[in-house]
Structure formats: structure tokens, C-alpha cells
Amino acid sequence: LIVDTHTQGKSVVIVDDVVSTGGSIKAMRQLLSACTASEAGVLCVFTEGGARDDVIALGDLPVNDPAWL
């Protein structure tokens, strides 16, 4: 994220490839807050270990599912 006059006060979509623990999303939310930008949404390709209410994803990767091993 480039923090300058182009991001300050803007509405931003967070995009990630895979969301598992949510640590990256939490860090991005803190950064957005620090630069006075707001979150428009969170998009990812897959969540891991279960769907999340705060993330729009194309699918979920089950954890410890023998079919994926």
C-alpha cells in the first residue's frame, strides 16, 4: 500500500490470495486506519479452514481434509 495523498481519506478494497488466520487483514486494517483510509471490503481467492463473514472469497480450502492431501 502506498500511503500518500492518493490513499488518505479514500475507500480501499483489501485483496489477498488466501486468508487463514486473518493476520494480514488485521495488519492492513491498522495501516488503513493510520492513513485515514476506510475499508470498502475484503476479497480473496480462498479462505482456509472455514468461510469468514468479513471476507468475500471464491471458495474455502478445508484444513486436514484427506481429499486435499
Answer yes or no: is pLDDT of 54 > 80. yes
pLDDT tens track for 4-38: 677 788 898 999 999 988 999 999 999 888 888 89
Answer yes or no: is pLDDT of 66 > 80. no
Answer yes or no: is pLDDT of 3 > 80. no
Output the 3-class SS for 12-69: EEEEEEEECCCHHHHHHHHHHHHCCCEEEEEEEEEEECCCCCCCEEEEEECCCCHHHC
What phi, psi does 18 have (nearest 5°)? -135, 130
pLDDT, averaged across the chain: 86
Give the DSSP letter of residue 11.
E
